[in-house]
Chains A and B, each alone.
Chain A
């Protein structure tokens, strides 16, 4: 197969991670911390970003 699925997965989670992290940093803190007082958008955004980067890294390493 000409397409390594890890590349689109990495790209999608990278994009989603950026969106969530950005929202977590820039949006009104009241919006982000509901209901347990943790900025869950920021933290989960960073997790997705790391996962996306990992997928991209391994996908490209094998295709190269």
Chain B
């Protein structure tokens, strides 16, 4: 497909503003705190919108629409059971310790609360993970631009082969993100994330509105789709009666409690946005303000997936034979997956596989005329870049404060750390580019890394929960708990297998003791086992080791910290009422789409 002048102009306007913000903000970067923590001076609504945007990378936009196309509205559990309750929890209960302890990062909180080794585990795994995920984000974007053949015409004009589209997209996205994070640090990243937030809404909202108008609204859409795709809770009683293949308990505990709380409450990528707020009450409001738009994001990112499969398939598209062999359902406007030689990819049963990741791009092409099409594609690029910049700014902070200053060169001047931070930005982006190329060559390595990260991440929430709310928890306890949790995750994965999968990366590499109905069910239960192991071992080891005196834990543990005074705030700025409103609205959404 080709873009016209109006589409390119829209994209250029966006790029000009993104870089312009970097240049303007650079003037305010004087100390390392300005660079890494935005001087702790931003208003809550700015941090809140950045909080959403930083997470709104490739995996979110493309992945949620793909999941919507595959599983239907049940994908909203990732929001209405997963993200939102966790965001309320971190804002109301955890933020006072992150912000109040004056820790400059999440790993640094772990050092203050526990000890050096617990921080080291968290800092190193986090640093590797951020580089890896921004690399994957870059790879996904380059791959998408290549599939859509967006850059073919301009490349041909330059006399270059179409194969350069991949390299060009990686290079261009790396340079743009590098420019604005290098110049303006976290402030620039956060400001751009706010801009990107509005752009993503402005680009995708017309798509959803047109799609709904075309399919006859939610009622019309419901009539066109199978029953299982339009209910989020109906059928959750058993794994066999819902498209996700997981029962309600595994979903609520695994996804809702362990995985979502683990991500939203402890991942420095998002917590850093709240730490940049100007006061402790603004920091607490950050995730709550973020939760308000976040709960409506399923309409923006999941609904396009449903609309895409409900549309009549273009002539000549392949027909998917349903698992019962009866109906000849098509996948709407979603095209089949092709391998490198242009042949359709078949699954183990010989059926055609569909490229669900193309749900949003296909819908953009289907509904939007030139002009809005440019805006929609720019929104897609914005989401990729905000995800990447989020990772890069979190990486440079953890690298500089938690690794460089702690283990390589302590006691240097603040100017020195500011310089190191800028260098870490360049290094982080360089490593992400390397990761993106590794992803193109060695898919297995990426799958394996992803698996290892899942094992490392699964137990962390138990450590933070005990650290913040049980003063008896000790450093030795936390460390052995984390290690045991990771081992438990690996062991559980090695002993179980999702139905229909072969032993290997999907699990069962030790021996198969249990079969799960779906990969998602296996993931959720791996997380539950990891969390429980970490929780139990941390308690056991803590009771056997000597606790730290209460005086050292003031400001770090719930029972030893004064409740933040908020009497002078109007009710709508207090975390508890805000949190209650957010949870109430989320409950209503769950019921409406039951």
Contact = CB atoms under 8 A, between A and B. Distances in A.
Interface string A8-29: 1101110110011001100100
Contact of B210 (A23, A31, A36): A36
A48 B27 CA distance: 30
Interface in B324-370: 366-370
A64 interface: no
B195 interface: yes
B17 A19 contact: no
Contacts of A15: 13
A19 B372 contact: no
A13 B202 contact: yes
A23 B375 CA distance: 13
A51 to B, nearest CB: 8
Nearest to B201: A51
B526 interface: no
A36 B206 contact: no
A9 B198 CA distance: 8
B555 interface: no
Contacts of B28: 1-3
Contacts of B210: 36, 40
A56 to B, nearest CB: 13
B42 interface: yes
Interface in B384-401: none
A16 B206 contact: no
A1 B6 CA distance: 34
A32 B371 CA distance: 8
A29 to B, nearest CB: 10
Contacts of B375: 16, 20, 44
B364 to A, nearest CB: 12
Nearest to A32: B369
Nearest to B366: A35
Interface in B1-24: 6, 9-10, 13-14, 17, 20-21, 24
B190 to A, nearest CB: 8
A13 B13 CA distance: 9
Contact of B195 (A8, A35, A36): A8
B21 A19 contact: no
A2 B41 contact: no
A12 to B, nearest CB: 4
A12 B369 contact: no
Given A5-B46, A40-B372, A44-B206, A35 B367 contact: yes
A31 B9 CA distance: 16
A8 B198 CA distance: 12
B43 to A, nearest CB: 9
Contact of A8 (B20, B42, B213): B20
Interface residues of B, number: 35
B13 A12 contact: yes
B214 interface: yes
Given A1-B39, A5-B46, A48-B202, A23 B14 contact: no
A40 B10 contact: no
B202 A33 contact: no
B195 to A, nearest CB: 6
B56 interface: no
Contact of A33 (B25, B198, B206, B369): B369
B109 interface: no
Contact of A16 (B10, B41, B46, B368): B10
A51 B10 CA distance: 16
A5 B369 contact: no
Given A5-B191, A8-B21, A36-B210, A20 B371 contact: yes
Contacts of B191: 3, 5, 8
A35 B9 CA distance: 22
B194 interface: yes
A1 B14 CA distance: 22
Interface string B181-201: 000000100010011001000
B198 A13 contact: yes
Interface in B22-78: 24-25, 27-28, 38-39, 41-42, 46
B282 to A, nearest CB: 13
Contacts of A33: 369
Contacts of B38: 1
A24 B370 CA distance: 10
A8 B9 CA distance: 17
Nearest to A41: B371
Contacts of A41: 369, 371-372
Nearest to B13: A15
Given A31-B371, A41-B371, A44-B206, 19 more contacts: A1-B39, A1-B41, A3-B28, A5-B195, A8-B17, A9-B194, A9-B198, A15-B13, A16-B202, A20-B6, A20-B10, A23-B6, A27-B6, A32-B371, A33-B369, A35-B367, A36-B367, A40-B368, A51-B202
9 contacts: A3-B24, A3-B191, A8-B191, A12-B195, A16-B10, A16-B13, A23-B6, A31-B370, A45-B371
